Structure 1
Amino acid sequence: MKQNSKNTIDWQDFEKVELRVGTIIDVQDFPEARKPAYKLRVDFGKGIGVKKSSAQITDLYSKKDLLGKQVVAVVNFPVKQIGPFMSECLVTGFHRDDGAVVLATPDINLQNGARLA
């Protein structure tokens, strides 16, 4: 069987990645970023709370489009400094051939904090 990925992982590795659903509650421009980006605040519910993220998604999404949108994010990476901003989670997406990012989103609304199983 041919593998499509360079690296394989086992189930225990996958279980370490905490992919959770959250709702974007605030979107701000991020003019200090090297590439066009937004500063997001994402609500992951009671257990996790609100986390900040920087996302290079300005090609396909306006601030209005993003407000209230549910996204899938990694919530257990260490905090990362991006210019003057501290990113607390990684909002996930897929790169198109033209470089634009399409967000990974649930197709039905879920409770904030729901974990990818």
Structure 2
Amino acid sequence: MDTITWQDFTAVELRVGTVLTVKDFPQARNPAYIITVDFGKEIGIRKTSAQITALYDKDELLGRQIVGVVNFPAKQVGPVRSEFLLTGFYTDDREVVIAVPERPVPNGAKLL
């Protein structure tokens, strides 16, 4: 494993946001959702696609807080402009378990 500096770590903007909408993404190569998240006043509302359909229903994601990387450049994923990276952990079956704060925090709060 490579080591990084503290400066490397602080350059990554890991922020908390609340899921506003979750829609099916039928054009995706692998099953995915299009997710819109409110990251607070400083960051605003951003959209991404995420391959998390195996473990999460759309309804259970609504209103949930998630952790996202908000300072990657936007990336075009088919017809969707992905504006942040939803973070998570792979299970042994390569499904994604999303990273969430343990308790509610303000939207836009930065992971320290």
- Matched residue count: 112
Deviation string, structure 1 residues 71-111 (Cα, Å, up to 9, x no partner): 00000000001011100000100000101100000010110
**TM-score, normalization by structure 1:** 0.94
Runs of 5+ unmatched residues, structure 2? none
Identity score, percent: 61
Aligned CA RMSD, in angstroms, stands at 0.6
2:62 equivalent among 57, 60, 67 = 67
SS of the residue corresponding to residue 46 of structure 1 reads: helix
Partner of 1:82: 77
Partner of 2:94: 99
**Letter of the aligned partner of 1:19 in structure 2?**
L
Runs of 5+ unmatched residues, structure 1? 1-5
The structure with the larger Rg is 1
After the TM superposition, list the runs of 4 or more consecutive aligned residues in structure 1 that deviate by more than 2 angstroms: none
TM-aligned CA deviation for residue 53 of structure 1: 0.8
Counterparts in 2 of 1:37-48, with a 5 A limit?
A: 37-48=32-43
Residues in 1 aligned to 2:105 and 2:86: alpha-carbon distance in whole angstroms: 16
Residues in 2 aligned to 1:7 and 1:84: alpha-carbon distance in whole angstroms: 35
